[in-house]
Structure formats: structure tokens, C-alpha cells
Amino acid sequence: MENLLSVQNLTKRFGPVTANDGVNLEVRKGEIHCLFGENGAGKSTLSSCLYGYYRADSGVIRFKGEVAELNSPADALRLGIGMVHQHFVLVSNFTVLENIIVGSAETGLFLTKSDARRKISELCENCGIRIDLDREIWELSVGEQQWVEILKALYFGAELLILDEPTAVLTPQQSDQLFRILDGMRKRGLSIILISHKLREVMQSDRVTILRKGRAIATVETSETTAEAITSLMVGHKVNKHVRDRSVEPTGEVLAVDRACAIGEWGEDILKDVSFNIAHHEILGLAGVAGNGQKELFETLMGVRALSSGGFSLEGELITKPTSREMLDRGIGFVPDDRFLEGLIPEFGTAENLILGWQRAREYCRGPFLDRRKMDALARRKIEEFKVVTASADLPVERLSGGNAQRIILAREFLHSRGLLLANQPTRGLDVAASEFVYEKILEKRASGFAVLLASEELDDLLRLCDRIAVIFKGRIMGIVRPEETTLLELGMMMAGDASDVQRTVQ
């Protein structure tokens, strides 16, 4: 088959960091080609070079057999390379049609919408996209907005479409729809580069190029390999996935949330009648598309956001007007989703971050003074126990990788918490090995009797780790289900707010 794009020996450096190191890549006409790798493996850099956003330090990019000079995204577009970013670039009070033709060279001074409309309708039909061209962007779901981005690229004549983590913001159903559309495009001879770190999606592509530490390790035909093989290639070794120990049964009740409501800045409901409970030895999963109230739920439980009504009790004791101080003193561990914003002081080293929240605790102080010796001893112990890679206990944590930063937060929270752990997206942005380390530690806490609230966008992870899974949509709990009694389809429907058939809550 003919190669639409071929990349030879592409190298891109950022200062001392080599993001792409002699990468070779060939994309055929009419295939879905997946770039697969952990965070920092060089996927985004590579695609940015292909899209003309970065200039490669060395290497040759050929498009349709000719050497492509990509100095800007405009060059890429002119050649026929389009990109759909994770964050959409749409004007929210323009219609779909207007968004697509805006900036196109053919419009000239006056917009000739009728020609454009005909052309776009044709594109829609060919790719199986059903969308009303006259609706304004703000009326559309996230999935539909993504279609508009795709249409925009196609309208500009893209023959190669690069999609950067396209399903990060979608429900499973929306992802399926997206893949049906991509399939339609492939059949029409368009090529697609799909950047992903989700195995489920990778397996739907034609070929996969696995990147590791900036190098292209291998390109394989998806039909001739397995998910396990691809994962091993990505990580460089075999990965053991942890599952919960089913012989340990949840007992009692640690946290009980009762009809908790919270109201946002403009009077909108952020949390509406949220009720659930968590027992000792239990992990309650919290599933939902990002931005449906998960963050706010954690914030209310940590006492940094006020409830408008309802409340919660801890170990049977009703908590009224909590403060973060009180919740920490009651032994709640909290792993925030944005670790550098909410969990760490970036300019502080490991030693000081390990006592954040406890800088006045008797363990680390002598009167008003910090006990540096105790802090340093603690840091040495925890750096070893949690395998934190840092030059010294005083190196600012802003210079550490996300995985190492997360280890510091976990070390701190596990040390100071008693009974309840709140973990919001604890593996966000972490590679497979680091994620499994986090899960292993959380499962250890479950075994020791902790109640754990674990929010994640990785449904597969929730299914193997959690005793029950609560699904949240627009601030409401759509239902609480057991992993062994549910399916991805059912979870996906609940995540999309369609719970008419499945709404149920198990205790």
C-alpha cells in the first residue's frame, strides 16, 4: 500500500531533553494509525512536528512522496494535514457552518454560505456525521463539537487528520460514535493518526507505532498482536495489574453523605442530593465524565467548599461547617486531582511538602520552630519507601515528574490519615507502572480497613479495584452499582445522564 506520510529520523530537542530521538514513522493511505506511549514518550511532540507547530531539529518528513517544509500549521493545512486538538478552537455563539468556514481562503470578503453548505453536507454524508449545521456551538455536546473540529479539517482539504487524545473528554458511547466516523473516513481513503494511551482505542486501529522515551520502538499490525504485547512494548517490561482482594468484605460505615447539595457562583446546582456511604475495607469508585461535580464533591468533603444543604457524617458523627483543618485533624487523607495546584507547594522540597498541613503538629515542631532533623529523617524514610526519584530532600518538587510528585502526596496522606482516604484522579497523567504503584498502595489501605473514595476516568481500573461504583452526572449520583453486576455500556449510559433503565443503588 502506498505511504501518504513518511517520517525519517526525526529528532526534536528541548534544551537538554530529547523529546523525539530519530523517529521513523510511515502512515499509509486509508489507515488509522495509532501513536501509543506513556506520558512523555514523545507522542505530542511528534504530532506537533507533523502539524508544523514545532520545527524538527533534524530528519525528513515526506508527504505524498515529496519532502514537506513544515514551518507553520498553515503550511501543514495547505499540504493537507489537519489536526484536532484536545481543547477545541470554536466560537461558541457561531453556528456549526460558520465555525467551519471561518478563516477559509475561499470565503473572501463575503461569505458564500450556500456553496459551503453543500460541500459540508456532502462531507457529513460521506463520513456518517449527523449534525445540524445551523445550531450554535454552545448548544452541542462535547462529542458533537469534536465532529465540528473534524469537519473543519476536512473542509480545508485534510487528507491526513491528527487527533490528539480525542476520547479524553468523551463518554464510552461518544467514543464509539467517534470511531464509527473515523472508520467511515478511512473507507474513503483518508488517513488518521490517533494519539492515545487507552488500549481499548489502540486495538481499533490498523497499525500501532509504539513510542518509548522519545524513540519509536516498533510498528505493528493491530490484528496480529495483543493488548498485552503492546503494553509490554510501551513499558519495556511486563506489568502486573492489581485487583482488589474479594475475600475482604466491607463492614460498618465510615463516611455517610446525606443529600449533599452545593450551589455554584451563578446559582447553578453543582451537587444535587448526593448520597452515598463507604464502609471499612471498601473502595467506592466515582465514575463520570470530567467536570460533572467530582472535584466539587471532594472539595466539600475536605471542608474547602461549603454545602448549601445536606451534610455528611464521619464515623457516625455529623460534620457541620467543616474546615480543612478539622478534616485533616479527623484523619482524612486527600489526594487532589491537580497535584501541583492543590496538593503541593511547588517551591518546597520533598521534606517540607511531606508535612504540608502538619507544619504545626507536635511531631515536627519544637514550640514555634520546625524540627528540621525530624523532617529530614521523615523525608529520607519516605523517599526510600515510596521510591521517590529526587536529587535531594530539598530539591523543589516543581522539578519532579508527575509520578514522583504523586508519590510524595501519597506518602504524606498515608502517613497522616486514619480511616478515610479521598482520592480524586490519583493516576491522572501517570504512566502504567506509576499508576499500578498508586493502586497497589490504595489497595493496601483498603486491606488495613480504610474506606476509600476513588474517582477515575479509567473505567477499566474502577471495575477491577472498586467494591462499588457510583456514577455522577451533572452533580447527581445516577446510581451505585457493583462491578460484577454492570457493564461498560451501562456505566457509559449513566455517565451520559441516561439512567432511566439502569438507575439503581446497591448498598
Partner 1 sequence: MISIQRRSGSSLRWNVVCFSAAILGAFLSSATLLALSGGDAVKAFSALFTGAFGSQNALFGSLAKATPLLLVGLGTVIAFRAKIWNIGQEGQVLAGAMMAYWASLMVGSLPYWLALSVIALAGLSGGGILGLLAGYLKTRFHTNEVISTVMLNYIVIFFLAYLLDGGPWMETGVTVAYHQSPPVNPALEWPELFARGAGKLHIGFLFALAASAFCAILIDRTSLGYDIRAFGSNPTALRFRGTNVRRLLLVVMLLSGALAGLAGAGELFGTSHRLRAETLLGIGSSGIVVAMVGGLRPSGVMLAALFFGALKSGAIYMRLQSGTPAGLVSAMEGLVLLFFLCAAVATKFQIVRSNVHA
Interacting residues with partner 1 (CB under 8 A):
11, 15-16, 57-58, 302, 304, 323-325, 327-329, 334, 336, 340-348, 352, 356-357, 359-360, 365, 368-370, 372, 399
Minimum distance, C-beta of residue 353 to partner 1, in the bound complex (Å): 9
**Closer CB to partner 1, residue 245 or residue 347?**
347
**Closer CB to partner 1, residue 20 or residue 222?**
20
Minimum distance, C-beta of residue 233 to partner 1, in the bound complex (Å): 27
Minimum distance, C-beta of residue 328 to partner 1, in the bound complex (Å): 4
**Closer CB to partner 1, residue 316 or residue 368?**
368
Minimum distance, C-beta of residue 185 to partner 1, in the bound complex (Å): 36
Residue 490: closest CA among 471, 467, 468: 471
**Closer CB to partner 1, residue 247 or residue 320?**
320
Minimum distance, C-beta of residue 22 to partner 1, in the bound complex (Å): 10
d(CA 328, CA 351): 19
Minimum distance, C-beta of residue 160 to partner 1, in the bound complex (Å): 26
Q: Which amino acid is at 466?
A: C
Minimum distance, C-beta of residue 330 to partner 1, in the bound complex (Å): 11
**Closer CB to partner 1, residue 172 or residue 343?**
343
Residues in CB range of 268: below 8 A, 6 or more apart:
none
Pairing of strands 332-335, 420-424: parallel
- Contact, 331 vs 418, CB < 8 A? yes
Chain-centre distance for alpha carbon 121: 33
d(CA 119, CA 125): 10
Residues in CB range of 252: below 8 A, 6 or more apart:
279, 280
d(CA 195, CA 407): 27
**Closer CB to partner 1, residue 241 or residue 372?**
372
DSSP bridge partners of 219 = 209
**Closer CB to partner 1, residue 22 or residue 497?**
22
Minimum distance, C-beta of residue 323 to partner 1, in the bound complex (Å): 7
441 three-state secondary structure = helix
- Strand residue runs (E) in 101-245: 160-164, 191-196, 207-212, 215-221
Pairing of strands 309-314, 317-319: antiparallel
Q: How many angstroms separate the Cα of 214 from the Cα of each of 9, 20, 34, 357?
A: 12, 4, 15, 38
Minimum distance, C-beta of residue 49 to partner 1, in the bound complex (Å): 14
Chain-centre distance for alpha carbon 214: 21
**Closer CB to partner 1, residue 272 or residue 407?**
407
**Closer CB to partner 1, residue 163 or residue 328?**
328
Minimum distance, C-beta of residue 359 to partner 1, in the bound complex (Å): 5
Return the half-sphere exposure (C-beta side, CA atoms, 13 A cut-off) of residue 37: 24
User: Distance from first CA to last CA of the chain, Å, rounded?
Assistant: 56
DSSP bridge partners of 8 = 60
**Closer CB to partner 1, residue 89 or residue 341?**
341
Q: Give me the helices (H) in 80-112, please.
A: 96-101
429 three-state secondary structure = coil
Stated length of the chain:
507
- Work out the burial of residue 230: count CB atoms within 10 Å of its CB; fewer than 13 is exposed, 13-18 middle, 19 or more buried: buried
